[in-house]
Structure 1
Amino acid sequence: MKHYHIAVIAYPHSLLSAVHGFAETFELANNACESARLNIRISTHILYEADLLRTTTKQHYHAILLPPSVNKASYSEKSVSINDFLVRHHQQGAMLCSACAGAFFLAYTGLTDKRVMTTHWGLESLFKERFPQQAVDTSKILINQGDIISAGGMMSWIDLAMELVQTLTNANILRQLGKTLVIDTGKREQRYYQQFQPNFDHGDTAILTVQRHLQGHFAEQQRAENMAALANLTPRTFLRRFAKCTGLNPNEYLQRIRIQTACNALEQTTLPFESIALQVGYEDAGSCRKAFQKVMGLTPSAFRQRFVSPSH
């Protein structure tokens, strides 16, 4: 029988529903393997920080999992014990896996340099601030690079668990597990759920003036030279400072405001998309639909179908 050992690090303030959910998901996978007469077993080891200091290198883990957290203090600073544990076992062949804020622990190790990671879209700014050289794509729910796997949202630990089940067993076991749990095992992306939340806390009052203006006039045509004049800056200086403060150029920023407003309208009203497109500043629905799909990864109709109940 093939026996896999998986460690779940229950660091302080980690999401206990995920910590124990991992163990329960893998136990259900074991039941599916037994029913299918597949000689594979997955054992889950829940480890606390004190355990990491006592755990010897003799125990081999096929994968080490870092669950989400709802407390910024738990991942805002490097933990020496967790860091050393991750590096040591990665050198022994363990896959390192994170969900949501767990990505911070992986990034602290330096093992993810030159890799692309994902984390919760709401943590993107803090993550980039803490790890400016680390590539991150929060449009993705999960990025699997073989020895490093990162997952995005708070509940993405489920996606991570299912990914590991498929990696360690096979697609048939995954489908059976999905039926047992009554969850969709199809691929999805985090950007389906992402909301555009502009950064207003950067301290540049000139750029903040432009941002406030765009919030109230996004449906109107906006020219870079006019925005620069509003900020009392030269166009070149304005573009440089705007990108530094927001992470986007003015056209991208304006597009994100418009698309977020369109998302809100699709969820909260029964207006046809053609009307919504005009309201948010597009001259034709086709251009808006193309931009919407590029940003959200879904067509407007698919977005409304996914997020609006049939009663609306």
Structure 2
Amino acid sequence: MNTVTILGYSQAYASAITGALDLFALAGVTCQRMQGLPPQQRFSVQLASVGGKDIECINQLTLKSHIAIEDVNTTDLLIIPTIGGKVENVLDNNRNLLPFIQHFYRAGADIASNCSGAFFLAEAGILNERTATTHWGYADLFSQRYPQVKLQPNQLITQDGNLYCSGGGMAWFDLALLLIERYCGHDVATDTAKAHVLDLSRGNQAAYAQLRSKKYHQDSEVLVVQEWLENHYYQVITLNKLAEQVSLTTRTLLRRFKIATEQTPFSYLQSIRVEAAKKLLETESHSLETITGLVGYEDLSSFTRLFKSVTGLSPSQYRKKFIR
């Protein structure tokens, strides 16, 4: 039986802790009971905290630890749940977790973070030059703090060696199912997913992300161009027209825009158009051809390819998933 240790701390998401506890503890149990078969528990699951102290979660729920992390001699898997409070404050108040994360990493345990829990792995220095993901809404902050990490914010799950990360707050069940499959095989993971009415694979989190405007730079001319694009994205736009807005040469605008936003003006424009299309698909009953025209494109097929490359879904799939 493999040991799973969930590392609890103040201001964590309660559901990312209790949900993972349930899913691992019931792997090999729930489905077997439903089928009248003897249960075969696959994991020994424990909730640990520094000093074995109670865990005050972000929703004011208090969880009791099973064990002090100091008393955990070995574990197959260490899970870091989601940060619920302000990331910077939670990291500062829980720096005593970092030596334990580093210790179990050096000991060869699998280390997994959910959502913003990846900040703890990065703070511990074990994500340097490694692939990782986190919640799409924290991607810019994460990249600023940890430029040496190969962040993939559109990915729902990443694996790099024995390091696993998952994206949005409820992605703990995607992460847990993947790890159940790693330890117990596809059949047990599938049975666990079916028993709990969960999708075994949800692809990526790009469809859930909102436009990150990337306006935290100090280039005033680029800011003017960004705002102009956001207000005129539906028009036919040329590089010359953009450069005219700020009296720059096209070459200078391209260079400064890329430095400020890490995108070209036209890739930024594409992001704006996709975001506008998402809102129309969520709220309006227009045909796909009409929506394509409203966001500045003439060809439905080319816009469909762009939309899918950004969100992971076709426009019709996105509408079906998110229409209000």
Structure 1-normalised TM-score? 0.90
* Aligned-partner residue type, residue 243 of structure 1: K
3-state SS in 2 of match to 1:155: helix
1:68 aligns with 2:82: yes
Distance 2:120 2:99 in 1: 11
Question: 2:157 touches 2:166 (CA, 8 Å); kept in 1?
Answer: yes
Structure 1: stretches of 5+ with no match in the other structure: none
Distance 1:8 1:176 in 2: 23
Task: Give the structure 2 partner of residue 11 of structure 1.
Answer: 9
Q: How many residue pairs end up in the alignment?
A: 307
User: Cα gap change, 1:259/1:58 in structure 2, threshold over 3 Å: closer, same or farther?
Assistant: closer
* Aligned-partner residue type, residue 250 of structure 1: P
Task: Give the structure 2 partner of residue 249 of structure 1.
Answer: 264
Structure 2: stretches of 5+ with no match in the other structure: 54-66
Distance 1:182 1:129 in 2: 38
Aligned equivalent of 1:221, options 219, 236, 241: 236
Question: 2:80 touches 2:114 (CA, 8 Å); kept in 1?
Answer: yes
1:58 deviation in Å? 6.3
User: Cα gap change, 1:232/1:48 in structure 2, threshold over 3 Å: closer, same or farther?
Assistant: farther
User: Cα gap change, 1:133/1:229 in structure 2, threshold over 3 Å: closer, same or farther?
Assistant: farther
Deviates more, 1:63-72 or 1:53-62: 53-62
Deviates more, 1:22-31 or 1:49-58: 49-58
3-state SS in 2 of match to 1:160: helix
1:294 deviation in Å? 1.1
1:141 deviation in Å? 0.6
Q: After superposition, give the CA deviation of every residue in 1:137-171 in whole Å (9 maximum; x if it has no partner).
A: 11111012340000000111111111111112122
Question: 1:75 touches 1:105 (CA, 8 Å); kept in 2?
Answer: no
1:280 deviation in Å? 0.5
Within-5 A mapping of 1:112-131 = 112-131=127-146
Task: Give the structure 1 partner of residue 47 of structure 2.
Answer: 46
Deviates more, 1:166-175 or 1:208-217: 166-175
User: Cα gap change, 1:224/1:50 in structure 2, threshold over 3 Å: closer, same or farther?
Assistant: farther
User: Cα gap change, 1:287/1:180 in structure 2, threshold over 3 Å: closer, same or farther?
Assistant: same
User: Cα gap change, 1:28/1:221 in structure 2, threshold over 3 Å: closer, same or farther?
Assistant: same
Task: Give the structure 1 partner of residue 168 of structure 2.
Answer: 153
Structure 2-normalised TM-score? 0.87
1:283 aligns with 2:306: no
Distance 1:33 1:42 in 2: 15
Aligned equivalent of 1:237, options 238, 241, 252: 252
* Aligned-partner residue type, residue 82 of structure 2: P
Q: Identity, % of aligned pairs?
A: 30
* Aligned-partner residue type, residue 44 of structure 2: S
Q: After superposition, give the CA deviation of every residue in 1:94-117 in whole Å (9 maximum; x if it has no partner).
A: 111011111111112222222211
User: Cα gap change, 1:45/1:200 in structure 2, threshold over 3 Å: closer, same or farther?
Assistant: same
* Aligned-partner residue type, residue 164 of structure 2: I
Distance 1:13 1:152 in 2: 18
Task: Give the structure 2 partner of residue 168 of structure 1.
Answer: 183
User: Cα gap change, 1:228/1:49 in structure 2, threshold over 3 Å: closer, same or farther?
Assistant: farther
Task: Give the structure 2 partner of residue 84 of structure 1.
Answer: 99
Q: After superposition, give the CA deviation of every residue in 1:10-39 in whole Å (9 maximum; x if it has no partner).
A: 122110111111111112114148656685
Q: After superposition, give the CA deviation of every residue in 1:159-208 in whole Å (9 maximum; x if it has no partner).
A: 11111111121222212211221111134211121221313333332111
1:75 deviation in Å? 4.5
Aligned equivalent of 2:73, options 59, 78, 92: 59
User: Cα gap change, 1:234/1:77 in structure 2, threshold over 3 Å: closer, same or farther?
Assistant: farther
Task: Give the structure 2 partner of residue 106 of structure 1.
Answer: 121
Within-5 A mapping of 1:16-35 = 16-32=14-30
Task: Give the structure 2 partner of residue 133 of structure 1.
Answer: 148
Question: 1:121 touches 1:153 (CA, 8 Å); kept in 2?
Answer: yes
3-state SS in 2 of match to 1:258: helix
Deviates more, 1:208-217 or 1:194-203: 194-203
Distance 2:89 2:112 in 1: 17
Distance 2:31 2:286 in 1: 48
1:78 deviation in Å? 8.5
Distance 2:246 2:114 in 1: 40
Distance 1:235 1:110 in 2: 41
Question: 2:30 touches 2:192 (CA, 8 Å); kept in 1?
Answer: yes
User: Cα gap change, 1:78/1:291 in structure 2, threshold over 3 Å: closer, same or farther?
Assistant: farther
* Aligned-partner residue type, residue 233 of structure 1: L
CA RMSD for the aligned pairs?
2.3
Deviates more, 1:46-55 or 1:183-192: 46-55
